[in-house]
Amino acid sequence: MFTGLVEKVSKVENLVFSELGAKVFFESDFADVKIGDSIAINGVCLTVTSIKNNIFSADIMKETLNVSNLKNLKKGDEINLERALRVNSRLDGHIVSGHIDTIACVRKIKQDGFSKRVVFDCNSDLIINKGSIAINGVSLTVSDVFEKGFEVSLIPTTLDKTNLKKLKIGDIVNIEYDLLGKYVHKFLSLDKEKSKITLEFLKENGF
């Protein structure tokens, strides 16, 4: 589990693709991270597989490449890093699993005072106004929701401390919907399925 509060912006030192998946190498000074630990890269939960001279590596399986923007990474790209949540830490963001639900495309960017409003195109069924969402692993509050997209406002601190400062129209980002929202949606979907079984349906089918 993570909080969506990015601890460090690092750079991809190397990225090796194969028919089996990929391996990403990145620099970090996280002294307490060891091989086998979970670490979020652009909001994707990966497992550290090697550490040498502050260069970490992690394997990316094909499923992760298919559903995230990690497949678009290249050497020199900036990535958001967050270590796994400690149970004795304050939860200043929101609960982020590191399991990407979908990707979104930047549609519009507009300066609004000291903040920057960014509109994304994606499925918005699980997004509510003023609800939480993780974009490239960054915990943010939704400022508006549309039929096929949503908007967030980025404050200077977020822009300064994450790779969202480099967003431009057409960029692809990783999206993780709010965990609670996903469970509520699932529950309501199951409830609707149950409601289809009426007395008439049972009679028609011999019950």
Residue 190 has pLDDT above 70, yes or no: no
At which of 83, 118, 143 does a domain end?
83
Q: What is the SS3 assignment for 81? A: strand
Contact 175, 133 (CB under 8 A): yes
- Averaged confidence pLDDT in the chain: 90
Count of domains observed in the chain = 2
Within a domain: 202: no
Q: Decide: helix, strand or coil at residue 152.
A: strand
Q: What is the CATH number of the domain that holds 22?
A: 2.40.30.20
Check: CB of residue 75 under 8 Å from CB of residue 14: yes
Q: Which helix (H) or strand (E) holds 103?
A: strand 102-112
3-state SS track over 39-71: EEECCEEEEEEEEECCEEEEEEEHHHHHHCHHH
Q: Is the pTM of this model over 0.95?
A: no
62 and 112 share one domain: no
Whether residues 78 and 110 fall in one domain = no
Amino acid at 57: S
Residue 38 near residue 30, CB atoms below 8 Å: no
Is 3 contained in some domain? Answer: no
Determine, yes or no, domain membership for 26.
Answer: yes
Distance CA 131, CA 158 (A): 17
What does residue 132 show for φ and ψ, rounded to 5 degrees? -95, 150
User: Which has more confidence, 55 or 93?
Assistant: 55
The pLDDT score that the predictor gives to residue 206 is 54
Both 27 and 66 in a single domain? yes
For 125-165, what is each residue's pLDDT tens digit? 999 999 999 999 999 999 999 999 999 999 999 999 999 99
Q: How far apart are CA 165 and CA 154, in angstroms?
A: 9
Determine the pLDDT at residue 48: 97
Residue 81 · residue 28 · CB < 8 Å: yes
Nearest to 57 by CA among 32, 39, 80: 39
Q: What's the pLDDT tens digit per position in 76-99?
A: 999 999 999 887 776 777 889 999
User: Lowest-pLDDT range, 26-30, 35-39, 77-81, 191-195?
Assistant: 191-195
Residue 70 lies in a domain: yes
* Structural domain contains residue 71: yes
Both 126 and 181 in one domain: the answer is yes
**Together in a domain, 60 and 115:** no
Kindly state whether residues 136 and 184 are assigned to the same domain. Answer: yes
Flag whether 20 is in a domain: yes
Domain range enclosing 16: 8-83
Domain finish residue from 56, 83, 110 = 83
Per-residue tokens: 1 = 């589990």
